[in-house]
Amino acid sequence: MKAPVSWIREYVDLPEAVSTDELAAKLTMLGLKLEALETPADAITGPLVVGRVLSIEKEPQKNGKVINWCTVDVADANGTGEPQGIICGAHNFVEGDLVVVCLPGAVLPGNFEISARKTYGHISAGMICSAAELGLGEGAFNSHDGIIVLPADAGAPGDDAFDVLDMHDSVIEFEINPDRAYALSLRGIAREAATGFDVPFRDPADRDVPAANGDGPPVVVDDAEGCPVFVARSVTGFDASAPTPEWMAQRLAGAGMRPISLAVDITNYVMLELGQPIHGYDRAKLAGAIRVRRATEGEQLTTLDGQLRKLSAEDLLITDDSGPIGIAGTMGGQTTELSESTSDVVIEAAHFDAVSIFRTERRHKLPSEASKRFERGVDPELPAAAADRVVELMVELGGATADDGVTVVGEAPPRRSVTAATDLPARVTGMEISAETTVANLEKVGCDVTVNGDTLAATVPSWRPDMSDPFDLVEEVARIVGYDKVPSVLPPAPSGRGLPLAQKLRRRVGLVLAGAGWTETINYPFVGDVDWANLGLADDDERRRTIRMANPLNAEEPQLATTLLPGLLRSLGLNVGRGNADASLFETGLVFLPKGDEKAPILGVDRRPTDEEWAAIEKAVPHQPQHLALALTGQREREGWWGEGRQGSWADAIGAVRDVAGALGIEIEVRAASVAPWHPGRCAEIRVGETVLGHAGELHPKVCKAYGVPARSAAAEVDLDALLGLAQVTTPSPSFGSYPVAKEDVALVVDASVPSADVAAALHEGAGDLIESVRLFDVFTGEQVGPGKKSLAFALRFRAPDRTLKEGEAGAARDAAVALAGERMGAVQRA
């Protein structure tokens, strides 16, 4: 919302010493966020003067264009007193007109320098300016068709044009929040200025309006909920060809609106002045009574922008006997549009339901200055005053005659009353705010306040539909007292607690992975059906049972993720596609596992849910465990001058999970499995005891292709919450034996389907108390071990805590371990 400062001062007696910067700062502190501060004169340097056109010589050019070689009197402004010769391509002026001349040495907006230069065979010593060239907005000073032509009494040749054009008048542009609809008008902004500086405010809507008499234009409202108030007035004998006065065109341009015609400019001016959108109809084009109703499905209307629009049954319309003539609160129709031949005008000033206008504007993608105000909430008591103001201006500026008839259908809803404790603002803000200050500040914003002991009842003004709660009253009081006066008090921090245990453990997980060379990513927790196909999940896979969002950010990903792998694999593919072929990524995040088909009840915010409601909410909210996912491709160890690199594999994914578990004091078990999206023969189930934590392994080739990653890429995903639940809170410090270790290596031949982890577990158990570690260091398949077999080589380390092992003790323990592996898995020791 752009507001010329001179227009603000018309309604509020601001002290002369108050600068534009101070005014903008005060309004910002009151909640009207400053977007921009512009003074047209600041964008121009050098001489800008009034000139009188003495002669015009029209000179046709070879390209068909006709230029004017003009002699312009600028008095002594050029330092010589001689008239200036200037080339001009506009044709909306004649000899004797007063124009605005920019002389050599001046610089216009856009760093456009003016100098005397030869053009079209003449030395043009300056430029005759249009409003747009001076940065005053299109159409200002009625310069639609060319340059600015000043009124005959605007000044004399050589006068400073900055003053004549009032270019020192600053314009403040605000970003208006949706709950501050009243500030989309000069009335609202001026009221805020009066509140901020504690000076009188002259309400432009405070006027005596004629009462309804039934003799006005006929109006029928079929939908009183959509249109609670409709005021109609009419004028006759309006001169549609009369020009918009300079002061009005200048204010409209300053407020960011292009002057169009007198009738339209008057309605726009009143909308900016009061905040009430107005629409005018050519009475000669109306057929019967004006009717407000909902549309019939399939009805059509050509709006003022020339678009034929198919209407919805939810659209609120303005109609007559011929059908729709406008979309209520949004845009009028072409059939009743005001034109140059209009002499009799019917004026509509109505109040429309904000939700209805919002939905219509979004449905038709038809934003307008009217809908922007109605969807935020317009003062329902304003239509009568706004219509009367339009009639006044049409009579004064357009020579019209006001008809005596006044039509008013409906009435404004009663003003809302809000009750609150008188000390609530002080308790909420922490400021010392007395009951008297609270009452005074509420009255400043237009409330009628009555106090009863420790409570007050505030009847909120009609232009503030956003004030409906005691804390809305707190906000009003606080912003007037000043948010800058809220004390800065830090809450006392309890000593010695530090981070919660769960957060410490999660940080430990991240640090372990980062230290091992993994890079953390953060992805959106959204998936689509294409992800299930890419992952190769069967139709009955539990991970496909998801929660679908009603309003997703991306229509192709409308489901909440039950696994982190889709987002992580997309990130891996993006890295590969951008040339980062060696990538090891991990992510921790929530997954969403539905409990059932129940839907959470929609509750108000005015009370705590009952136990039954809370139970229903808990039942409907999905289980949201935190998962850890990893994905890698390319080299895990880079090659260089130090030697060859090493390609990452499924073993690295399992090893990363093992590292995380080790940091939490947990020993995991690994068993063979077959789960999508992993390769059927290269997938491991990760578990602790009987608790399955997740899976890891090499990705299926089809999955790699779907996500654009190289074949044999690997991934893992585990339930991090379950892993953290098993964590040892204090990991014991590693113990180092003071006696020497005994080393034994064994190679066992087993069936190819036997998991190495099961063999290692049997060796560990069979070796007894002397075993310190069992490590697989080689896997061999080939003719030497026979078809369907594999050889597993393990390094066994034995140590006694209290003595040096005697000769033969380590060998006996080794033999016992091999014997148990042979008994359980049919393992045979290789020679």
Record the tokens describing residue 478, joined without a space.
């606080």
- Domains in the chain, start-ordered, CATH in brackets? 2-39+170-197 (3.30.56.10), 42-164 (2.40.50.140), 219-410 (3.50.40.10), 418-485 (3.30.56.10), 501-725 (3.30.930.10), 742-829 (3.30.70.380)
- In this prediction, residue 734 carries a pLDDT of 60
pLDDT band at 354 (very low <50, low <70, confident <90, very high): very high
With a cut of 70, say whether residue 566 has pLDDT above it.
yes
Report the range of poorest mean pLDDT among 90-94, 322-326, 513-517.
90-94
Q: Specify the amino acid at residue 115.
A: S
d(CA 673, CA 686): 9
With a cut of 70, say whether residue 814 has pLDDT above it.
yes
List, in sequence order, every beta strand (DSSP E) within 626-784.
626-633, 635-637, 646-647, 669-673, 678-688, 691-699, 714-719, 742-751, 771-780
- What pLDDT digit, counting tens, does each position of 448-483 carry? 999 999 999 999 999 999 999 999 999 999 999 998
With a cut of 70, say whether residue 821 has pLDDT above it.
yes
- In this prediction, residue 733 carries a pLDDT of 58
The answer, yes or no, to whether the previous bond of 601 is cis (omega within 30 of 0) is no
Record the tokens describing residue 744, joined without a space.
């034994």
- What pLDDT digit, counting tens, does each position of 36-79 carry? 998 888 889 888 999 999 999 999 988 888 999 999 998 876 66
d(CA 241, CA 62): 36
Record the tokens describing residue 623, joined without a space.
């289980």
Q: Which is higher by pLDDT, 258 or 628? A: 628
Q: Specify the amino acid at residue 596.
A: G
d(CA 265, CA 245): 10
- In this prediction, residue 735 carries a pLDDT of 67
Q: Indicate the SS3 state at residue 753.
A: coil
- Output the CA angle 692-625-592, nearest 5 degrees: 110
pLDDT band at 143 (very low <50, low <70, confident <90, very high): low
Beta-carbon contacts of 699 under 8 Å, excluding residues fewer than 6 positions away, are 569, 677, 678, 679, 709, 712, 713, 714, 715
